[in-house]
Structure 1
Amino acid sequence: MPALSSAAPHSRYDAVIVGGGHNGLVAAAYLAGAGRRVLLLERLPRTGGAAVSDRVFPGVQARLSRYAYLVSLLPERIVADLGLRLTLRKRPVSSYTPTVRGGRPTGLLAGGGESRTRAAFARLTGSEREYAAWQGFYGMTRGVAALVFPTLTEPLPSRAALRARVVEALGHPAWEALFERPLGETLEARFADDLVRGVVLTDALIGTFTSAHDPSLRQNRCFLYHVIGQGTGDWDVPVGGMGAVTDALAGAARAAGAEVRTGHEVTAIATDGRQAEVTFRAGDAEGVVGARQVLVGASPRELALLLGETPPPAPEGAQFKVNMLLRRLPALRDPDADPREAFAGTFHVAEGYGQLETAYRQAAAGALPAAPPSELYCHSLTDPTILAQEPAAAGYQTLTLFGLHTPARLFAGEPGRNEAARTELLAATLRTLDEHLAEPIAECLATDAEGRPCIEAKTPLDLERELRLPGGHIFHGDLSFPFAGDEDERAAAGDPAARWGVATAHENVLLCGAGAVRGGGVSGIGGHNAAMAALAR
């Protein structure tokens, strides 16, 4: 670890925050609002991290959520505490999943009212059984969500305490299904239809390379965070795009008095547990600032490198992000599906239960999935403000695609492998999507000012290069259950950082990003909890 310098730094702060993503901004706003002298240092020319809006395609007036794209976990408590001027809009339907039954294109539309969803299940499966199972399962997850979500902005409960809360309200089967048994066992026991099982399983695989029966339960942890947001599991559309969320947070941090410097890359952190020094580079200049506490929004691996310590093994991201701008939504092969409804929620492609397992096994063996599973949604159907007046009037729509089971290892290797694999995967992904469309998606793409199709794709290695996400992992590593382990002596002893799930090996260095115990997703929870721990000290 770098040693503290003998000469005092020119400036000293109560807290220096490393990274201006949404969590760093939340932490800065809370600490500055509590009267602390706060400096936030961000490597990139702007704040926002992965939650930004960009004009991706030259000459086209459309602001796309380039990386993160929906909001579920951001608590109303943070919005209210920081006085954020932010609008989150509900999507009109939950999801649509196209398939073929009896040689005929059809699909499952979930949402749009109970009677429509019930009829869609009956049309797909020919009975009421799967709809009843669906209602029962998501009734259980909503019950868990109502109990667990409020705890995310409180000190960590112990495993025993959280278990007692869930079991008392919902019974042992609810705890066992989500916290103890591989999710695949529960899905196979509750649902008979392969497509329905797959639709449910997808929430366990977003950004997480695993299978339904993984004994480590990383799929359960991922699933839990995807179904507990706001105590309901709803995923909302940020009006104005993801950049509107982080712009509001940056405004709140500055208004509270935090000093925010962009274009400042932190290159080292030194600490003796009581005082710390943060070294940074801004252009050709270098500087050092002192701090009582350092809150780090970067990954645990990046933090170890900044401290000069041996980093943990790099995690592995497993997602493929594609942004598109369309001249029109494509027609569907399912004659009963309206594209404006189908793409308004999550549009599932090749995400049957068996298809997901096949794709996982192919990727685990080192091959790109032959039929890549993915899910799409059209932001502009719910929020047309991201389009300028001219493209909106012409009927243009945005389309976001998030691919599963594409681990970083598939793109690594010899020079040029990332580019070649990206091209191959994009072609296979669009080809798999086209199987459910009445016209190729390529024919619907808009073109930019130079006549090129408006489509861009990002692999895990692209995310690692652009955002410093280790291995391209959008959660900085595997998610954790939202409780303190029985072996966590620091939490049991009342150490504030451990009790809030933001501790590192150094008393005055805290995690405030996705690598915190309850990090991951656009939530601000890591930033909130790190700020609470810092204030408690």
Structure 2
Amino acid sequence: MPARERYDAVIVGGGHNGLVAAAYLARAGRTVLVLERLDSTGGAAVSTRPFAGVDARLSRYSYLVSLLPRKIVRELGLNFTLRKRTVSSYTPAHREGRPTGLFVGGGPDRTRESFERLTGGTAEYTAWEAFYGMTGRVAERVFPTLTEPLPTRDELRRRIDDDAAWRMLFEEPVGAAIEAHFSDDLVRGVVLTDALIGTFAEAHDPSLRQNRCFLYHVIGNGTGDWDVPVGGMGAFTEALTAAARSAGAEIATGHEVTRVETDGRQHADVTYRTPEAEGVVAARHVLVGASPRELAALLGEEPPAPVEGSQLKVNMLLKRLPRLRDPAVDPHHAFAGTFHIAEGYDQLAAAYADAAAGRLPGAPPSEIYCHSLTDPSILGPELAAQGCHTLTLFGLHTPAHLFTRNHDAVRDALLTSTLAQLDAHLAEPLTDCLATDADGKPCIEVKTPLDLERDLALPGGNIFHRDLAFPHAQNGTGRWGVETRHANVLLCGAGAVRGGGVSGIPGHNAAMAVLGR
């Protein structure tokens, strides 16, 4: 139970953003209480052993890190390490009746040779270098602004100082830029995937939600690299929990907040319940790591427009990595980066059209990576010695509305067809490589958007809480992008401007708003 009746700040939700806010505020001498509904902190950034009797600690929901600023790690003194992947991606394909693929990583020479082997020339590689040179320059200029007060649109445009890049990323559907730069369908698809992670959109969607998703996937720490958290994602939130507590923050798990009442200025009452009782604490500020939909419910206000997620999350443990049909690539290299499946440009368009019409995609697109190739510490010694590996699959264009009827049957059918797309590029069925748990069951766990809504209160299973926003000021966004219409109630989760992904940025920015920095 809370140790006092009033706090400087009560934080609703003990996910990674709430913990970042708690650590910053407590280090500044504020009294802080974190109220978390679940029995442990971390939210979506957790590790777990999902398979009975198996010593494999998987990142259950989120799994890679790009947007976490190094300044947060440094300023909070986090005992946490990220490790670079040696491979960026591998995308298998069939060309002229033979298995082949696009391998990106292992140095520029190997990448160039892979482009030439796939496309028969140098044009696509040259275009690739130019395109990602452009996004790299944008990343270097935009990423530092994410932990500063929100720039205006004009200020951000001046900072980028590249009219062509601004137009491609901020004004025109990203599909136009992809089609202008690249000719090969497979290469176009690999580029487009960063615009579709957890986002149900097509390349030319006039809303530009795909552009916003793309931008956040290529600007992380000024490089766009996606790194592996050593020890799994739970190691990050464990380090954050320790930092918050050591700074003096109180953390109460198993405490579900049910109501927030505020005078809109300097006082709020936060009602919570536990399995045993109900209680109320007072606060000067309330920071909410839950979604804007959940915040509206707590305040008794009209909810925002409905949103939905669009992803399938599959966790697996393998006895061994499967052999590939492409003889030029070792599976230990192919699965070390992002392994793209059915993600050609036309395939992605067809999958979107199917899902938009209410059908399961005929060829479900997805991508896989193997955490244990970069960080074997998540496996027990016996599993590591046996050559076991984890695989994480993230499916695209699987919006929540597809699962509203016959959830389990739809989930199972989608999993079967998704794995069939992978098997088309393997020399042996993936199911032959699955390890079994203590009960003899295959080590595979599937999470749909509706599962994420049930488990984590994500609206419609949306991993970003709502559509991502461009990282500049818009009407009503406030100085830090965390403000609400109540001066003493702030968003500190993914639904804030510059939220989404495992970043800690909304938590940092909400803390700075409270501290007036």
What are the ranges of 5 or more consecutive residues in structure 2 without an aligned counterpart? none
1:524 partner amino acid: G
Q: 1:85-484 counterparts in 2 under 5 A?
A: 85-167=79-161, 171-273=162-264, 274-413=266-405, 417-484=406-473
Task: Measure the CA separation in 1 of the matches of 2:158 and 2:279.
Answer: 50
Task: Measure the CA separation in 1 of the matches of 2:252 and 2:515.
Answer: 22
Q: Which residue of 1 aligns with 2:28?
A: 34
Task: Measure the CA separation in 1 of the matches of 2:33 and 2:82.
Answer: 29
Q: Which residue of 1 aligns with 2:37?
A: 43
Q: CA-to-partner distance for each residue in 1:9-57, whole Å, 9 max, x for gaps?
A: 9700000000000000000000000000000000000000000000010
Task: Measure the CA separation in 2 of the matches of 1:231 and 1:317.
Answer: 27
Structure 2 residue aligned with 1:531, among 506, 511, 516? 511
Q: 1:264 to 1:180 in 2, by over 3 A?
A: same
Task: Measure the CA separation in 1 of the matches of 2:296 and 2:335.
Answer: 42
Q: CA-to-partner distance for each residue in 1:230-265, whole Å, 9 max, x for gaps?
A: 100000000000000000000000000000000000
Normalising by structure 1, report the TM-score. 0.95
Q: Secondary structure at the match of 1:438?
A: coil
Superposed displacement of residue 314, structure 1: 2.1
Q: Secondary structure at the match of 2:310?
A: coil
Q: Secondary structure at the match of 2:89?
A: strand
Task: Measure the CA separation in 1 of the matches of 2:485 and 2:52.
Answer: 46
Superposed displacement of residue 420, structure 1: 1.1
Q: Secondary structure at the match of 2:8?
A: strand
Normalising by structure 2, report the TM-score. 0.99
Q: Secondary structure at the match of 1:209?
A: coil
Task: Measure the CA separation in 1 of the matches of 2:159 and 2:14.
Answer: 36
Superposed displacement of residue 439, structure 1: 0.3
Contact 1:323 1:400 in 2 (8 A): yes
2:447 partner amino acid: K
Task: Measure the CA separation in 2 of the matches of 1:190 and 1:510.
Answer: 41
Task: Measure the CA separation in 1 of the matches of 2:338 and 2:408.
Answer: 28
Contact 1:222 1:479 in 2 (8 A): yes
2:386 partner amino acid: A
2:297 partner amino acid: L
1:516 partner amino acid: A
Q: CA-to-partner distance for each residue in 1:148-190, whole Å, 9 max, x for gaps?
A: 00000000000000001112xxx21011111111000000010
Q: Secondary structure at the match of 1:32?
A: helix
1:519 aligns with 2:499: yes
Task: Measure the CA separation in 2 of the matches of 1:298 and 1:314.
Answer: 15
Identical-pair percentage: 72
Q: Secondary structure at the match of 1:483?
A: coil
Q: Secondary structure at the match of 1:60?
A: coil
Q: Secondary structure at the match of 2:238?
A: helix
Contact 1:482 1:518 in 2 (8 A): yes
Q: Secondary structure at the match of 2:211?
A: helix
Task: Measure the CA separation in 1 of the matches of 2:42 and 2:190.
Answer: 31
Task: Measure the CA separation in 1 of the matches of 2:81 and 2:157.
Answer: 34
1:30 partner amino acid: Y
Superposed displacement of residue 471, structure 1: 0.1
Q: Secondary structure at the match of 2:150?
A: coil
Contact 1:10 1:288 in 2 (8 A): no
Q: Secondary structure at the match of 1:405?
A: strand
2:464 partner amino acid: F
Task: Measure the CA separation in 2 of the matches of 1:235 and 1:381.
Answer: 15
Task: Measure the CA separation in 1 of the matches of 2:44 and 2:119.
Answer: 40
1:294 partner amino acid: V
Task: Measure the CA separation in 2 of the matches of 1:207 and 1:39.
Answer: 31
Count of residues in Structure 1 that have an aligned counterpart in Structure 2: 514
Q: Secondary structure at the match of 1:499?
A: coil
1:15 aligns with 2:4: no
Task: Measure the CA separation in 2 of the matches of 1:350 and 1:26.
Answer: 37
